[in-house]
Structure 1
Amino acid sequence: MGFVLPEYRHPDFNGAPLAGAPAAVFCACPADGVAPAGFHATSVFPEYVRMQDGHWELLRRSRMDCVIRLGTDGRPEVTEFRRLRKGDMVAVGRGENGEQGIYLHTGGFEPARQCGGEAFAFRTGTSRETSFSIAYDTLYDIMRHDRSHGRIIWVAGPAVVFDSDARAAFCRLIDKGYVHGLLAGNALATHDLEGALYNTALGQGIYDKRQMPLGHYHHLDTLNTLREAGGIERAVQQGQIRGGVMHALTRQGIPYVLAGSIRDDGPLPEVEPDVYSAQDAMRNLAGEATTVVALATQLHTIATGNMTPSYQVAQDGGVRPVYFFIVDMSEFAAGKLADRGSLTAHAILTNVQDFMVNLDRAL
Structure 2
Amino acid sequence: MGFELPKYIEPNFEQEFLKSAPNVKTEEVVKEGVAPENYHGTTIFPEYFKIDGKWVLAKESRMDSVVVVKDNNEVEVKEFRNLKVGEKVVVGRTEDASEGIYVYNGGFVGEEEIDETFAFRSGRSRETAYSKDYDDLYEVLRREKEHGYIVWVLGPAAVFDKDAREAMAALIDNGYVHAFLGGNAVATHDLEAATIGTALGQDIYTQKSMKDGHYNHLDLLNKARRAGSIERLIEEENITDGIIHACVKNDVPIVLGGSIRDDGPLPIVISDVYKAQNEMRKHTRKATTVICLATQLHSIATGNMTPSYTVVNGEVRPVFIYSVDVSEFAVNKLRDRGTLEVKTIVTNVQDFLVNLKNNLTK
TM-score, normalised relative to structure 1: 0.97
Identity of aligned residues (%): 53
Listed as ranges, the matches of 1:285-324 within 5 Å are 285-315=283-313, 317-324=314-321
Alignment partner of 2:132 out of 131, 134, 137: 134
Measured against aligned partners, the alpha-carbon deviations of 1:25-79 in whole angstroms (never above 9, x if no partner) come to: 1111231111111110001110011111x11111011001000012354311000
Listed as ranges, the matches of 1:170-209 within 5 Å are 170-209=168-207
Q: Which amino acid aligns with 2:68?
A: R
1:237 aligns with 235
Displacement after TM superposition at 1:112 (Å): 4.8
Partners in 2 of 1:71 and 1:233 — Cα distance?
A: 41
Partner secondary structure for residue 326 of structure 1: strand
Displacement after TM superposition at 1:236 (Å): 2.2
Listed as ranges, the matches of 1:25-174 within 5 Å are 25-52=25-52, 54-113=53-112, 117-174=115-172
Q: Are 1:341 and 2:338 matched, yes or no?
A: yes
Kept in 2: contact 1:236–1:250 (CA 8 A): no
Partners in 1 of 2:10 and 2:72 — Cα distance?
A: 24
Displacement after TM superposition at 1:120 (Å): 2.0
Measured against aligned partners, the alpha-carbon deviations of 1:96-129 in whole angstroms (never above 9, x if no partner) come to: 1111111111110012535x52222221111111
Partner secondary structure for residue 134 of structure 2: helix
Partner secondary structure for residue 31 of structure 2: coil
Partners in 2 of 1:262 and 1:87 — Cα distance?
A: 35
Partners in 1 of 2:341 and 2:256 — Cα distance?
A: 25
Displacement after TM superposition at 1:19 (Å): 1.4
Partners in 2 of 1:238 and 1:211 — Cα distance?
A: 26
Displacement after TM superposition at 1:239 (Å): 4.9
Unaligned runs of 5+ in 1: none
Q: 1:165 to 1:112 in 2, by over 3 A?
A: closer
Q: Which amino acid aligns with 1:360?
A: K
Q: Which amino acid aligns with 2:304?
A: N
Kept in 2: contact 1:59–1:78 (CA 8 A): yes
Partner secondary structure for residue 18 of structure 1: helix
Q: Which amino acid aligns with 2:56?
A: E
Q: Which amino acid aligns with 1:209?
A: Q
Q: Which amino acid aligns with 2:195?
A: L
2:248 aligns with 250
Displacement after TM superposition at 1:252 (Å): 0.5
Q: Which amino acid aligns with 2:21?
A: A
TM-score, normalised relative to structure 2: 0.97
Displacement after TM superposition at 1:311 (Å): 0.6
Partners in 2 of 1:214 and 1:208 — Cα distance?
A: 16
